[in-house]
Amino acid sequence: MLRVKLAGKVAIVTGGGRGLGRAIALRFAAEGAALALAGTGAPHLETTAAEITAHGGRALALVTDVANEAAVAAMVAATVQRFGRLDILVNNAGIAGPTAPIVEAPLAEWERTLAINLTGAFLCTRYAIPHLIAAGGGGRIINISSIAGHIGYALRSAYAASKWGLIGLTRSTAIELGSHDVTVNAIAPGSTRGERLASVIRDRAVALGRTPEEIEREFFVGQNALKRMVEPEEIAATALFLVSEEARNITGETITVSAGFRL
């Protein structure tokens, strides 16, 4: 008999309106989870929520700035009020940050990148933890890091620092929550097709005086063992595995999905 993997589960996916967040939300919904989609783009959140409900699922769109503590607290409270519990948190919300040498990168852009990409994950985790524990075991947290969390990334210091930080947050939180049967893992995508990477490629091309096609080929595909982009649905499949019962003994890990970047 066909059995969905997340029946009865409730998940929050930040940045859930588009890109990786949308792909993860749709995959979780297809496996029976109720979804709270959080982010700053109301139209994208509402479109994704409508798609889930049109297919018989349950979804809630919550406009939320994850760098704002009060907004995060309200987002978690609204989710639990609507669905009665919380089992899964996916910290996916993030921005690309500045593309510039460190000596030229504006301090305000550095601070905003860390506020959203790292502090936002910290705040969401802080407010989700009591509910994940209260759900009675088997809670899951996934932090979406990046291959930039493993390597030096010239011209992208703020982004790389935030993604390295997410891996440290993942390992530390996993230790704290292990006794409560809550697992915490990170996914580090490589060059993943979508709007964000396209924007990064354009910005890098401008900064280096090259064409976007050259930048994509040299920096984002040419350094992959498989010579291709990662698809958002492949990240979603990895996320589904990590929140499933099959992964109950995986915690504190960072799973890289990068088509073999720099192998």
Domains and CATH numbers, the chain: 10-191+231-257 (3.40.50.720)
The catalytically annotated residue of 9, 127, 146, 159 is: 159
CA dihedral 9, 162, 156, 98 (to 10 degrees): 80
- Structure tokens of 25? 């939300």
In this structure, which amino acid lies at residue 191?
S
Tens of pLDDT, residue by residue over 86-135, are 999 999 999 999 989 999 999 999 999 999 999 999 999 999 999 999 99
Q: What are the respective helix, strand and coil percentages of the chain, to the nearest 5?
A: 50, 15, 35
Q: Is pLDDT of 212 > 70?
A: yes
pLDDT, greater one: 216 or 70: 70
The catalytically annotated residue of 145, 146, 157, 162 is: 145
Region 157-183 average pLDDT: 97
163 counts as catalytic: yes
Distance of CA 241 to the CA centre of its chain: 15
159 counts as catalytic: yes
- The DSSP annotation for 165-232 comes to HHHHHHHHHHHHHGGGT-EEEEEEE-SB-SHHHHHHHHHHHHHHT--HHHHIIIIIITTBTT-SPBPH
146 counts as catalytic: no
